């Protein structure tokens, strides 16, 4: 290659690196789900800078060596560019953001070894785990180019790679199921792939011996008469199918250890989306049939006593009757007789598939023992207290996030992720038969998912807050004076508010520090994690008369942002931002409240603008209209007290029938939905789609 073409190749490599670094800079300003995403992005960016240095210093090498090095660098850059897609599809507004942190904790609480995962969405349907260990991949890439980019740049890159830590994997879930968080139990199955291959590797020699012994018993024309190479391919093919099938089943069981019955119901529903049987076809592709997978997951729950406890509890609580019936339905589909008639019969005339199935069954007890050595079983034990699960289901029934267990004489206790997910699954199963129309069930299920997602976020931040400097969520007040008269006209006082909260007539959750938040005549609320920013250049003018075209235009007019705790959101002078309260409210039908700004923020120019009345019976997070009237930008940190609620009794009860019920974040105005008389005041012909 001549010098001119080589120079063009170097320029091309530098340009590719520049494009990737520009994208990295843009993604650095996005809000990421976890440190895993930020660390992965930093490693890609640092690698590009190191490659720039390699390209510049390669000019001192012989011409042939320069060409080889630059082409190698271009290959790495192409791979880095493709890997950016994982980060881009995993930023907070593209995933169920509050699910990630608690899920990582659930893995840590189940798997006995360190695991780091990056969870991203994709449009292709299905869940998958990239088996590439990206820590090892990046370390090996650096090793091949070691010394070319300079010691300083290499040390900086190594520092970023070390942050990935060993066993760094990427797990993908279908974007179509983004908000269907009950389905995401199946992510636990993908995590199982990170260690179940160790069992198949451990048993490789034994399984190969079993396969050869079984093949010796088949008619000579099918195996013994073949040459050595062909016999070897047959043995390898059967071993490959066995190892894949064994790993899939063990991954299902690992998922059950994390999520309990919720994992079984997720697998069952996923199977009904695809095909419940097809044993021969499945085994030929290296997968167990869905019916067999379900039978193993159900058997594990049965052996651990989970099924029998739920069946017994169904006699005491009618909400568990449908759950018990669902177990019975799965048991009928997966019992031994059904497996024999629909599974073994289908493969009996196909010898390789029969061998695979027989070896799977033979080694399944050893596979279970391997799992028991590698997982902790606290999650299944925590599900044994069905009274707590029932309490969470009752909260969903009352349209309240199931984010804590209420106790009479001690502070509320945040539930674990698997307790919330199982309560939500049980509630879904319980309401399926009650709703007569798909429309009603769909609306109810949509609200349930929103409340479940909010509960996961709340329980996680509540646990972190309680562990911070030993804070305890208790009131610590004197008993109410029995002679004190109930206040039916003015603002409710501290003791009256606490009485309403303790009786669950008034719900404000999570109330992280009640002693500080409940004042003499108000309750402080904290800033939530979601914001809506208006795009000033999106519309030349906003015309409320065109409200029928309005829903489709909202996406272009607003920009939603979600940020994590300990991050900040900047509100600029003379701009309005819609935020929301961290707390979720459920007001009695005879109590309303006003949202009032805090003077400490007001003195900086931050004001809670207009529309601050909350009607009786309202349920949801409160949308806050935040305006910066000051001269300098203000950083807002989710979790800080941002406003206060002043409560009043109403003279009679009323039911909330507004458009913003069960909100879990800021809500954009829904003009025209509940104001049909507005059309009278518009010019004729406007407001038409």
Spatial separation of the C-alpha atoms in residues 314 and 323, rounded to whole Å = 8
- Give the angle 84-85-91 at the CA atoms, nearest 5°: 95
What per-residue confidence (pLDDT) applies to 482?
44
Q: Are 163 and 40 contacting, i.e. CB atoms less than 8 angstroms apart?
A: no
Residue 486: is it exposed, middle or buried by C-beta count within 10 angstroms (0-12/13-18/19+)?
exposed
| CA dihedral angle for residue 452, residue 455, residue 459, residue 465, rounded to 10 degrees | 150
User: Other CB atoms closer than 10 Å to residue 520's CB: what's the count?
Assistant: 9
Predicted model pTM: 0.85
> Which token pair is 141?
């890439």
Torsion angle of alpha carbons 302, 306, 312, 315, nearest 10°? Answer: -120
Give how far Cα 97 sits from Cα of 425, 496, 511, 530, 570, Å.
Answer: 19, 36, 21, 10, 20
Q: Which of 88, 499, 625, 667 is catalytic?
A: 625
User: Strand, helix or coil at 32?
Assistant: strand
Calculate the alpha carbon distances from 574 to 585, 592, 606, 607, 628 in Å. 29, 30, 10, 11, 5
Give catalytic status of residue 625 as yes or no: yes
Are 567 and 637 in contact, with CB atoms under 8 Å apart? yes
Here the contacts of 681-689 (C-beta below 8 Å, separation 24 or greater) are 682/545, 683/545, 686/543, 686/545, 686/546, 687/545, 687/546, 687/547, 687/548, 688/548, 689/548, 689/549
**Closest C-alpha to 72, from 49, 98, 47, 51:** 51
Q: Which tens digits make up the pLDDT trace of 37-88?
A: 888 999 999 999 999 998 888 777 777 778 888 899 999 999 999 999 888 8
On the CB side of 444, CA atoms within 13 Å amount to 19
Other CB atoms within 10 Å distance of the CB of residue 539: 13
Distance separating alpha carbons of residues 352 and 356, to the nearest angstrom = 6
Enumerate residue ranges in the chain where pLDDT < 50: 477-485, 688-689
DSSP 170-223: EEEEEGGGTT-GGGGGHHHHHHHTTTTHHHHHHTHHHHHHHHHHHHTTS-GGGT
- Please report the DSSP string for 267-302 in residue order: HHHHHHHS-S--HHHHHHTT---HHHHHHHHHHHHH
The structure tokens listed for 54 are 């390699």
The two three-digit tokens of residue 257, written as one number:
């250890």
Distance of alpha carbon 174 from alpha carbon 165, whole angstroms: 26
User: How far is it, in rounded angstroms, from Cα 628 to Cα 634?
Assistant: 8
The answer to whether 668 touches 558, Cβ cutoff 8 Å, is yes
Radius of gyration of the chain (CA): 30
How far from chain centre, in Å, is Cα 440? 25
- The number of helix segments (H) and strand segments (E) in the chain equals 26, 15
Retrieve residue 182's tokens.
């009950």
Strand 558-562 versus strand 530-534 pairing type: antiparallel
Tell me phi and psi for residue 181, to 5 degrees: -70, -20
- 469: its two tokens: 């400097």
C-alpha 310/C-alpha 31 separation (Å) is: 41
CA atoms within 13 A on the CB side of 68: 8
User: Rounded to 10 degrees, what is the CA torsion of 533, 536, 542, 547?
Assistant: -40
């Amino acid at each position: 290659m001549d010098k001119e073409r080589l120079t063009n190749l170097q320029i091309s490599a530098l340009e590719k690196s520049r494009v990737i670094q520009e994208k990295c800079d843009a993604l650095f300003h996005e809000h990421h789900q976890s440190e895993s995403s930020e660390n992965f992005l930093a490693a890609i960016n640092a690698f590009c800078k190191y490659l720039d240095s390699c390209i510049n210093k390669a000019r001192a090498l012989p011409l042939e060596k320069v060409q080889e090095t630059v082409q190698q660098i271009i290959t790495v850059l192409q791979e880095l560019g493709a890997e950016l897609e994982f980060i881009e599809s995993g930023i907070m507004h593209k995933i169920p953001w509050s699910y990630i942190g608690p899920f990582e904790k659930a893995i840590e609480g189940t798997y006995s070894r360190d695991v780091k995962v990056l969870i991203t969405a994709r449009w292709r349907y299905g869940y998958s785990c990239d088996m590439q260990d990206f820590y090892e991949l990046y370390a090996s890439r650096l090793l091949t180019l070691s010394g070319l980019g300079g010691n300083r740049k290499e040390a900086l890159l190594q520092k970023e790679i070390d942050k990935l830590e060993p066993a760094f994997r990427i797990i993908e879930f279908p974007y179509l199921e983004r908000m269907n968080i009950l389905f995401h139990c199946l992510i636990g199955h993908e995590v199982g792939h990170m260690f179940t291959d160790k069992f198949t590797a451990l048993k490789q020699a034994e399984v190969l011996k079993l396969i050869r012994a079984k093949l010796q018993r088949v008619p000579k024309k099918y195996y013994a008469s073949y040459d050595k190479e062909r016999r070897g391919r047959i043995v390898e093919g059967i071993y490959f199918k066995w190892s894949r099938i064994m790993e899939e089943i063990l991954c299902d069981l690992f998922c059950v250890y994390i999520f309990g019955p919720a994992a079984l119901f997720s697998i069952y529903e996923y199977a009904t989306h695809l095909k419940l049987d097809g044993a021969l076809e499945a085994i030929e592709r290296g997968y167990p049939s869905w019916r067999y997978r379900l039978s193993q997951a159900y058997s594990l729950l049965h052996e651990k006593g989970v099924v029998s406890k739920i069946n017994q509890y169904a006699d005491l609580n009618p909400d568990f009757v449908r759950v018990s019936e669902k177990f019975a339905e799965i048991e009928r589909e997966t019992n031994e007789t059904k497996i024999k008639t629909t599974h073994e019969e289908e493969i009996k005339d196909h010898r390789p598939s029969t061998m695979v199935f027989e070896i799977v069954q033979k080694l399944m007890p050893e596979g279970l023992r391997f799992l028991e050595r590698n997982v902790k079983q606290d999650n299944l034990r925590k599900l044994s207290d069905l009274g707590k699960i029932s309490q969470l289901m009752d909260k969903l029934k009352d349209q309240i996030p199931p984010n804590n267990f209420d106790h009479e004489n001690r502070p509320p206790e945040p539930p674990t992720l698997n307790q919330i997910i199982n309560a939500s699954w049980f509630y879904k199963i319980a309401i399926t038969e009650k709703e007569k129309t798909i429309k009603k069930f769909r609306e109810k299920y949509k609200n349930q998912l929103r409340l479940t997602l909010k509960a996961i976020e709340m329980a996680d931040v509540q646990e972190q807050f309680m562990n911070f400097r030993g804070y305890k969520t208790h009131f610590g007040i004197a008993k109410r004076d029995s002679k004190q008269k109930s206040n039916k006209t003015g603002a409710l006082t501290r003791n009256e508010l606490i009485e309403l909260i303790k009786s669950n007539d008034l719900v404000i959750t999570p109330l992280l520090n009640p002693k500080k938040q409940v004042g003499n005549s108000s309750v402080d609320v904290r800033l939530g994690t979601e914001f809506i920013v208006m795009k000033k250049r999106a519309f030349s003018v906003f015309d409320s008369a065109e409200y029928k075209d309005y829903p489709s235009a909202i996406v272009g007019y607003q920009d939603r942002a979600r940020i994590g705790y300990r991050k900040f959101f900047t509100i600029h002078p003379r701009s309005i931002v819609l935020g929301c309260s961290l707390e979720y409210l459920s007001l009695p039908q005879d109590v309303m409240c006003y949202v009032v700004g805090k003077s400490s923020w007001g003195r900086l120019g931050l004001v809670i603008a207009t529309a601050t009345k909350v009607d009786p019976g309202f349920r949801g997070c409160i949308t806050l209209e935040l305006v910066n009237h000051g001269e300098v930008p203000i950083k807002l940190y989710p979790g800080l007290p941002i406003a206060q609620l002043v409560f009043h009794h109403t003279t009679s009860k009323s039911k909330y029938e507004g458009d913003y019920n069960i909100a879990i974040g800021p809500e954009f105005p829904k003009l025209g939905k509940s104001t049909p008389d507005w059309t009278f005041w518009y010019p004729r012909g406007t407001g038409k789609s």
